[in-house]
Structures are given as structure tokens and as C-alpha cells.
Amino acid sequence: MSLINRQIVLASRPSAEPSADNFKLVEAPVAPLQDGEVLVRNHFLSLDPYMRGRMNDGKSYAQPQPLDEVMIGGTVGEVVESRNDFFKPGEKVVGMGGWQEYQRVGAHQRGALQKVDTTHVPLSAYLGAVGMPGVTAWYGLVKIINPKAGETVVVSAASGAVGGAVGQLAKARGCRVVGIAGGPDKCAQVVSELGFDACIDYKQHADVKSLSKALKEACPNGIDGYFENVGGMILDAVMLRCNAFSRIAFCGMISGYNGAPIPLTNPSLILVNRMKLEGFIVSEHMEVWPEALKELGGMVATGKLKYRETVAQGIAAAPEAFLGLLKGKNFGKQLVKLV
């Protein structure tokens, strides 16, 4: 009897805020392997904010997600069958298997699968702290903000998979680290679990003036580096507190992902403070991944890098879990457990 692969495809493009109706669960038989191919049973599926942009049909840094095809996404799993000499059944791998239970990888797809060692690092961590989110945090902090000991670094979406890693990497470099997150529980955990010096609940501030005042109290020496995941009012408030020669790494602008305009209210600060602003896409910097993963893997293995996971159960739960991610309902890395 052939295996059945359950998949989530993009059924339609959202006009504004996405809904579960934009996705569809389908089933397809797993075809027999050809020479050189590998069959992977995905154990965990990664859900990430960038997927929202791929759902649109507009011009961006990457091609849109095609309709009626499996949603893009990182996966970790186990090789269950192989007709490829490099991969053996039972080996754990990470790849871009998408929102599906099984993944077939051909011999021509070089680099599509990477073996991972789960002796000291849990399999799921290769989608978070020791995966794309961790390297994203590392690149933005190390290569763009480049903080020095004693400087103040602020991180928005501080309780997320990327933000949490940014703060801990900055602390390891001797910085004062202030997070911005939504809700008292998240802020408390950012400080107590992740080791930030302070965390501001943006939901307690109705305007830029109020948030800027809170930042002044939390950052008495101003802000030297800012890791941006949100945009909008939060960016405006941070810029009011930035020091001369401060650096901002633009990773995400989730406040505008559903089409809402996010104008910058005081761009003259960029000139006045001689600020460096740089956006980046981590997949365009593969040359740094080995260095980043070495540090991240070592910190996770030794318990120096803490991370939290929010886990939905089963492929059918992926759409609602993704919509929750966009609304900030997760803490840490949002995963879907498939096995």
C-alpha cells in the first residue's frame, strides 16, 4: 500500500489580512523513489513571518508562493527511504520540505537536505535557535549592528524566535539589552528566561510619545543598536532615543504585512544622528552560516542560549497556527509537530 502525503497548499491570495480560507488541505500518494532520490518523513514544520509576504503576488525579494502548490517552509525530519548513497535511512535532516508530511528530494537538488547531529542539539532547534531564525539574529546583530561591550541594544518582537536570540547574543557581547514585546507575561519571560535587562510592553503605550518615554527610562544612555522586526510606531519611538552613529538592522516590518501603510514620521533623525540603516535577507549571506551556526550550536548545547517553542499538533493545524503567529500569539519559535 502506497504512503499518503497530506499537504497544505495556498488556495487563494489574501486581499488584506489572511484567513484559514486561503489554505487547503490535500492528500496525494507518495510515488516510488527513483535512483538518487531520498524520502523524508518531516517531524517538524517551521512557521515564519516571511511566509506572509510570499502569499502576495507583488514584487518582492523572492518569488510569490504559487497557488495550489505546497506552502513553502523549513522542515526537519528523518530519512525513511533512500536511493542516494549519501543519505541513509534513520539519518536526521533539515531542509525546505514545505507544509507537508513527506518530502521527496532528487539527486539534482544539491544542498536541499543537510544532515544534522541531534546528540546535543534537539532536532526542532534546527528550525529555530540553530537554524534560519538564529542565523538571522546573528547576522543582523554581528554584521550590521556590530555592538561593543557597554552599548545598549534594543530588540522588537523580543519574545520571538529571532528577537530572543538577538538579545542573548548581545548579552554575550557585554551589552545592555532592552526588549519590546506584547503583554506582561511575554515581557516578564523575556527578562527572567532569556536574560534581557528590561522589556517594554508596547501594548501599554498608545502613542509614540508614551513609548519613547518608556524607552528613555529603560535606556538611560540612549540606544546604540536596534534590531527591527516590527516597524511603525515602535520604530519611530526607538529612533527618538537613538544615539549618534547608532545602527539599525531591518529584519522584518510585520506591522505592515497586511498592507497597512507604515510611514516614517521623523526621517531627519537619520541625518542628524548619522545613523546606519540596513535591511538584509539572511539567505543572501550563506557565507556566514558556518560561523553563525558554530556559535549558536555551541551556546544551545551548553545551555547558554535559551529558547522557547510554541508547538501546534498535526499538519491540519498549520494554517491557524500561522495566523496566530502573525498576531503574536506564540512565544518563541512557532512549530507544527507532524510525528
Domain with 197 in it: what CATH number?
A: 3.40.50.720
**Rounded distance, CA 170 to CA 155, Å?**
10
| Whether the predicted pLDDT of 227 surpasses 60 | yes
pLDDT value of residue 279? 97
**Rounded distance, CA 296 to CA 221, Å?**
29
* Together in a domain, 149 and 277: yes
**Is 298 part of a structural domain of the chain?**
no
pLDDT value of residue 214? 98
pLDDT value of residue 263? 86
Which grid cell is 53? 509576504
* Together in a domain, 120 and 68: yes
> The CATH number of the domain where 112 resides is what?
3.90.180.10
**Is 301 part of a structural domain of the chain?**
no
**Rounded distance, CA 338 to CA 47, Å?**
13
**Is 168 part of a structural domain of the chain?**
yes
**Is 291 part of a structural domain of the chain?**
no
| Whether the predicted pLDDT of 1 surpasses 70 | no
**Is 302 part of a structural domain of the chain?**
no
**Is 288 part of a structural domain of the chain?**
no
* Together in a domain, 124 and 151: no
**Rounded distance, CA 50 to CA 47, Å?**
9
* Together in a domain, 98 and 146: no
Per-residue pLDDT tens over the stretch 240-267: 999 999 999 999 988 887 777 888 999 9
**Is 294 part of a structural domain of the chain?**
no
- The closest of 177, 95, 136 to 296, measured between CA atoms, is 136
* Together in a domain, 177 and 102: no
The percent of residues in the chain predicted with pLDDT above 70, rounded, is 99
Q: What is the mean pLDDT of residues 276-293?
A: 96
* Together in a domain, 105 and 190: no
Q: Which domain holds residue 232?
A: 132-283
* Together in a domain, 122 and 179: no
The SS3 assignment for 121 reads coil
* Together in a domain, 152 and 273: yes
CB 337, CB 311: distance < 8 Å: yes
Domain count, the chain: 2
* Together in a domain, 191 and 271: yes
* Together in a domain, 255 and 231: yes
| Whether the predicted pLDDT of 58 surpasses 90 | no
* Together in a domain, 181 and 204: yes
Distances (CA, A) of 35 to 38, 41, 106: 9, 18, 8
Per-residue pLDDT tens over the stretch 147-181: 999 999 999 999 999 999 999 999 999 999 999 99
* Together in a domain, 96 and 27: yes
The percent of residues in the chain predicted with pLDDT above 90, rounded, is 91
Per-residue pLDDT tens over the stretch 10-47: 999 998 899 999 999 999 999 999 999 999 999 999 99
**Is 200 part of a structural domain of the chain?**
yes
pLDDT value of residue 111? 72
Per-residue pLDDT tens over the stretch 84-136: 999 999 999 999 999 999 999 986 776 789 999 999 999 999 999 999 999 99
